[in-house]
A and B are shown apart, each in its own frame.
Chain A
Amino acid sequence: QSALTQPASVSGSPGQSITISCTGTSSDVGGYNYVSWYQQHPGKAPKLMIYGVSNRPSGVSDRFSGSKSGNTASLTISGLQAEDEADYFCSSYASGNTYVFGTGTKVTVL
């Protein structure tokens, strides 16, 4: 039950695209299509942004997209905006009916 690995920080200028990686193992990310991504602003509860690897909940901007290759999932934010500045966490179902989260990535809009 080790945490998934994410870069500590990613930054970009307004309008640019950034990608956050989330690396696990064949027992979690690589083994199931149950990867989700959460956005968390300071002092707030996490918000679901992507589910099932690449699906967006209703109300989430289409600037957010997700993908997966092997044991690594990715979140891409296109057309970066100031409001996107937040912490982002990936999550995956893992064997044994448990879940594991990523280490978290702080996104900074320059």
Chain B
Amino acid sequence: EVQLSESGGGLVQPGGSLRLSCVASGFTFNRYAMSWVRQAPGKGLEWVSGISGSGGNTYYVDSVKGRFTISRDNSNNTLFLQMNSLTAEDTAVYYCAKNTMIVVKGNWFDPWGQGTLVTVSS
């Protein structure tokens, strides 16, 4: 069974940093691209970032470019999201999701982790 488990969320002050982790199991991790998707409280879903199976290609939504960095450790089946210069607009539940191909293009997301809440507030 494929499982994804996020951690690292919490309360952080505006301008601060946080690193999210997502541990994967039940599939050959390096054969699939991975994504981070967030959901602000009471709002819709927003794709944040994606990374290819090898980790060599990364992509971001415009609103986080230059502030967030996605990476992966294929030896330990772990996906990361380093978030810097956080603002209140980054407050959301962050989900990691398995893509269905090794490349980021032309995928869908299945399954999703349970999510980790990031709250940016002073």
- The chain A residue with its CB closest to the CB of B57 is A97
Query: Within the complex, which residue of A32, A47, A99, A100 is in contact with B35, where a contact is CB–CB below 8 Å?
Result: A99
Check B47 against A102 for contact (C-beta < 8 Å): no
Question: Inside 8 A of B61's CB, which chain A residues have their CB?
Answer: 1, 98
Interface size on A, residues (CB 8 A): 25
Bound: A89/B112 CA distance, A: 14
Interface size on B, residues (CB 8 A): 26
Question: Inside 8 A of A47's CB, which chain B residues have their CB?
Answer: 111-112
Check A45 against B107 for contact (C-beta < 8 Å): no
Check B45 against A48 for contact (C-beta < 8 Å): no
Which residues from 81 to 122 on chain B have a C-beta closer than 8 Å to any C-beta of chain A?
Answer: 95, 100, 104-115
Interface string of A16-32 (1 = CB under 8 A from B): 00000000000000001
Check B46 against A34 for contact (C-beta < 8 Å): no
Enumerate chain B interface residues (CB-CB to A < 8 A). Answer: 35, 37, 44-47, 50, 57, 59-62, 95, 100, 104-115
Told that A46-B37, A99-B47 touch, could you supply 12 new A-B pairs with CB distance under 8 A? A3-B44, A32-B106, A38-B45, A45-B112, A47-B112, A51-B100, A89-B44, A89-B45, A98-B50, A98-B59, A100-B47, A103-B44
> What are 15 A-B pairs with beta-carbon distances under 8 A?
A1-B62, A3-B46, A34-B106, A36-B108, A36-B109, A46-B37, A48-B111, A91-B108, A93-B105, A93-B106, A97-B50, A97-B59, A98-B47, A103-B44, A104-B45
